[in-house]
Amino acid sequence: MFNSDICFRFVIDISEKALKNIFQHMAARKLNTSNPESLEYTNDILKQTVLGGIKLEGLDRMRVTLKVELTDSSRPPVRHNLDLYNDSQLEKFIRKIAEKLEIGTSVIAASLSELTEQLEKYRLDEIKHQQNTANEIKHLTEQEKTEAKENLKEPNLLETTAKDLQNTGIQGEEKNALILLLAMTSRKMKDPLSVICLAKSGVGKSYLMEKVAQCIPSEEAKEHTQFSGNSFYYFKREEIKGTVFLIEDLDGAQAVMFPIRELQTKKRISKTVTIKDKSGQMRTITLIVEGPVSVIGCTTKEKIYEDNANRAILIYLDGSKEQDERIMNYQKNLRANLIDTHTEKQLQEKLQNMQRVLEPVKVVNPYAPLINIPEEDFKPRRTLPLLLGFIETITFYHQYQRPQQADETTGEIYIEVHPTDVEAAFKLMQDVLFRKADELSGAAREFYQYISHKERKFTDPKHNNGKGFYARNVREETRVHPRTLNRYLNELAEYGLIQITGGNKNTTGYSYKLVENRSYEALQKSIDTQIEKVVKEVWKVHTERSRNTNEQKKPKKVSRTSKTVVGQLSD
């Protein structure tokens, strides 16, 4: 007699065994990740393709576009966009597949579950790989450490470093390249320096910044061309601490000018945002990103970024014909394979290793009360910290040549500024200090110097009847854009450095004549005199401190009477 219960249990046993075998086959398979934009997972029944890959950010969701089809069937596939972590979406999708492909929901659910596990593993592996790549740090051997420290003990360290920088492929710009390297070195200090490179388009601002950046460890520099408004706030809390931010064009970073200024001034930024948690509830969190950072940026517009420029060292690149010739000769020799690029790479590695062995150490400047900036500086409260910070950076770079001392109260180790550091800082910053004291913008000052040199040619009586020069005369010589030229002429006229002598705005244009002005030379002479005075005073105080220290170290003379008393006591 037929027993229906026995048959039913037999069918269930067979179905469970079949499903178990299917699951075992699924577990043995792996996700095909050869194409990140088309991830495939195939078993004996279904082929599942993740179109467009998956996003690595946002571990609380798994948003995918799935294409599901039978492995051995001509039935059209099912495509759908869903979150694999959303149960309601997943259940509807399983029913849809079962209806379209006419297979059981248990097999589909098991297949999707295995796919989800494979995608989770793939995503975590990719995140880990990216973190390891981003944080890859070169570990020096003992020999490399010793060589790097010996290089930092060079008697003429700054001169040697400047020469090495030139031999890495930088043409000219000796002072500017050294200032950039020292500013990048300050990333390891409590108050890093920032620099803005200013020059007209095509001079090579980005090239200089990139070539110098190749001389510091790559893991400690971040190069960007553009930022979104909130991009700075979504770094990990200490992800950018002690790094160098390289911004090729500040025009692409206008949205983050405020957080950049805050990182430079307050050494940290914070922002309060509202997010939705896993339960769907809204809650408030505070995003905090720790500094400090060193920001190196390039621009052609000095006035637009005045707030940021006040917090940075401004360097003006050389746009002369001689500099053009040096760069073009290098470019031609490079294409002709006449440049020893292997030696350039070796020097870059040498400078990188020197940076790697620099240790964070406190710098004390006992001569800080003597440091004064030129009286003509328009913004002394901003300029003085930059100058003091630059002096301390030079001392920091010489840390293997400065004796370490311990604070008697706290026991903290520190090194002291030497007068040679002060002297070197003033020598490198002399042009920077002048620019800070000059009422003209850097580009307008260079233009004024140019037309002062060419005035006799521009005012040739054969062409202008001795009535001055016209804008067209300057354009014939320089090929400056008309709007740029008008901006320069208007700025010089506002400050009384040129005078309109005739002409007509609508026909010939105005004619101009230079106004005799000795303030430029007087300003330079005044700055040079003040710098020389400060350096002399620093050396004078240093000599007195050294004399007092030596006297304290000398053994005290014992008088004959004291010797007799000591002898009697010993008897």
Q: Which is more confidently placed, 454 or 286?
A: 286
Average pLDDT taken over every residue of the chain: 80
Q: Which is more confidently placed, 375 or 43?
A: 43
- Cα–Cα distance, 116 to 31 (Å, whole number): 10
In this prediction, residue 185 carries a pLDDT of: 94
pLDDT tens per residue across span 307-318 = 666 678 888 888
pLDDT tens per residue across span 160-213 = 999 999 998 888 889 999 999 999 999 999 889 988 888 777 777 788 888 999
In this prediction, residue 571 carries a pLDDT of: 41
When pLDDT is cut at 50, 70 and 90, the band that residue 131 belongs to is low
* β-bridge pairing 244-247 and 46-51: unpaired
Report for 95-109, 127-141, 372-386, 456-470: range of highest mean pLDDT:
95-109
- Cα–Cα distance, 491 to 487 (Å, whole number): 6
The class of domain 147-360 in CATH terms is alpha beta
In this prediction, residue 132 carries a pLDDT of: 59
The secondary structure of 392-424 as a DSSP string is: HHHHHHTGGGS--EE-TTT--EEEE--HHHHHH
Calculate the alpha carbon distances from 425 to 40, 297, 421, 432, 460 in Å. Answer: 61, 21, 6, 11, 44
Cβ contacts of residue 174 below 8 Å, gap of 6+? 162, 165, 166
Q: Which is more confidently placed, 60 or 519?
A: 60
Mean pLDDT of 79-90: 90
The full set of domain ranges for the chain reads 19-134, 147-360, 442-517
In this prediction, residue 483 carries a pLDDT of: 81
Q: Give percent of the chain with pLDDT exceeding 70.
A: 82
When pLDDT is cut at 50, 70 and 90, the band that residue 549 belongs to is confident
User: Do residues 547 and 380 lie in contact, with contact meaning Cβ atoms separated by under 8 Å?
Assistant: no
Mean pLDDT of 7-24: 47
- Cα–Cα distance, 547 to 541 (Å, whole number): 10
pLDDT tops 70 at residue 134: no
In this prediction, residue 554 carries a pLDDT of: 64
In this prediction, residue 499 carries a pLDDT of: 81
pLDDT tens per residue across span 250-309 = 776 776 777 877 887 778 888 888 877 666 678 888 888 887 888 888 887 766 556 666
For the chain, first and last CA: distance in Å?
130
In this prediction, residue 567 carries a pLDDT of: 44
Mean pLDDT of 440-468: 66
When pLDDT is cut at 50, 70 and 90, the band that residue 378 belongs to is low
When pLDDT is cut at 50, 70 and 90, the band that residue 553 belongs to is low
Q: Give percent of the chain with pLDDT exceeding 90.
A: 27
Fold of the CATH domain 442-517: Arc Repressor Mutant, subunit A (1.10.10)
